[in-house]
Amino acid sequence: MNQFYTAESVTEGHPDKLCDIIADSVLDECLAHDALSRVACEVLATKGQVIVAGEITSLFEPQIPAIARSVLQKVGYDPARYAIQCLVHKQSPDIAAGVDCSLERRRNPSEDQPALQLGAGDQGVMVGYACSETPQMMPLPVMLAHRLTSALAAARKTGVMQGLRPDGKAQVTVEYGEDGKPLRLDTVVLSAQHSPEKPMDELCWELTDKVLAPALQALPPDEDTKILLNPSGRFVLGGPEADTGLTGRKLMVDSYGVFAPHGGGAFSGKDPTKMDRSGAYMARYIAKNLVAAGLCEKCQVTLAYAIGKAEPVMVEVDTFGTGTVCADDCLAEAARFVFGLTPAEIISQLNLLTPRYTQTAAYGHFGKPEFPWERTDQAKILRAAVI
């Protein structure tokens, strides 16, 4: 029996994504001047107001109002129309103590392994996923949704389409055959903020020609595909003026949509001692290498950590019955053997102290080849370890 899977994406002008970008821009500015900065930055954006709150411990003091205004300008909003409030203080000394000296080191002070130096910045569950249905080893509906919103933003910024405004979102439903492979494009939803002078028929024609056509080349619409352009009708009022934005409110857009569960922790605004972020990146790295190694066709890797403890309390692999060589628990043991899973090891392996996080904040944290957690450099080692 065929199944239908849906994924969504939003542009950087969506109010929630605007908040994520501001939070990660603050993080990048701190890391650029002090690589050991501890940052937990949350942002709220509403009509005429941007509020930045959180905990920052750094040798560098970021100019948060200037950073927020710069992001507003780049995204396409007038920064002069927003008041910026900052409610920031230092990281809790109790949390800092648990991160700076792990539980393992505290229990055995003579232990001198650098890998055990840092404890996890919080407890939590992190999930990584990979599959063989696209070159990026991401689910096809997720990639198509991101391509639509990326193309929409590009059409606005390059002037290919006139009368577009920054807010927008897309949703894609793909029909899968009985073999579990993408079969056809069932439904496309695209909503684009526009100026009041833009005629609706002209908007829909241009969206079809200049956004849908290039973005959906991997799985073009057929005669039965349902295409819904601005289905609510007029979409003039958008962004924070129409809808309050918050960091971390687009978790499934950031990750794998309906294809994998989410541990619940947001990514943006957090330095890599926060396992919500670094653990999720490592889980993706492991899952992608397992698929690249030919050990499975799709894979979900789940990691769990306790605050202050360096080693994970759980490492689980689920190949959904697609494993080709051995049982899933064997793959989990191989992952433990090949990959360092303490916070210090993850930060080192994935080069997570480099300020690159603003680039992750929109159009998904996964499936972009420029990020270290997208490498497949451990595939051969993994396969050898298993065999």
**Known binding-site positions:** 14, 16, 42, 55, 91, 167-169, 234-235, 243, 249-250, 266, 270, 274
193 closest CA partner among 248, 145, 240, 250: 240
Both tokens of 125, joined, read 């569950």
Binding positions for ATP are: 14, 167-169, 234-235, 243, 249-250, 266, 270
Could you identify the residue written with the tokens 């393992």?
104
CA max distance for the chain: 72
Query: Tokens 């947001």 — which residue?
Result: 266
CA 95 to chain centre: 25
Sequence-distant (6+) residues with CB within 8 A of 118 are 99, 100, 102, 273, 310, 342, 343, 344, 347
- Rounding to the nearest 10 degrees, give the CA dihedral for residues 367, 253, 198, 232: 140
Q: Where is the binding site for K(+), in residues?
A: 42
CA 234 to chain centre: 30
Paired tokens of 314:
């759980």
| CA–CA–CA angle 126, 150, 374 (5° rounding) | 40
- Which letter does DSSP use for residue 212 in this model? I
What 8-state DSSP symbol labels residue 210? I
Separation of alpha carbons 116 and 135, rounded Å: 36
Q: 3-state DSSP call for residue 345? A: helix
Dihedral angle of Cα 347, 311, 376, 285, to the nearest 10 degrees:
-80
Q: Which residues are annotated as a binding site for Mg(2+)?
A: 16
DSSP letters, 123-146, are -EEEEEEEESSSTTSS-HHHHHHH
| DSSP H stretches of helix in the chain | 15-33, 64-75, 93-100, 103-107, 140-158, 200-207, 213-215, 251-254, 275-292, 328-338, 343-349, 379-386
Annotated binding site for L-methionine: 55, 91, 243, 274
Q: Which two tokens stand for residue 79?
A: 């920064």
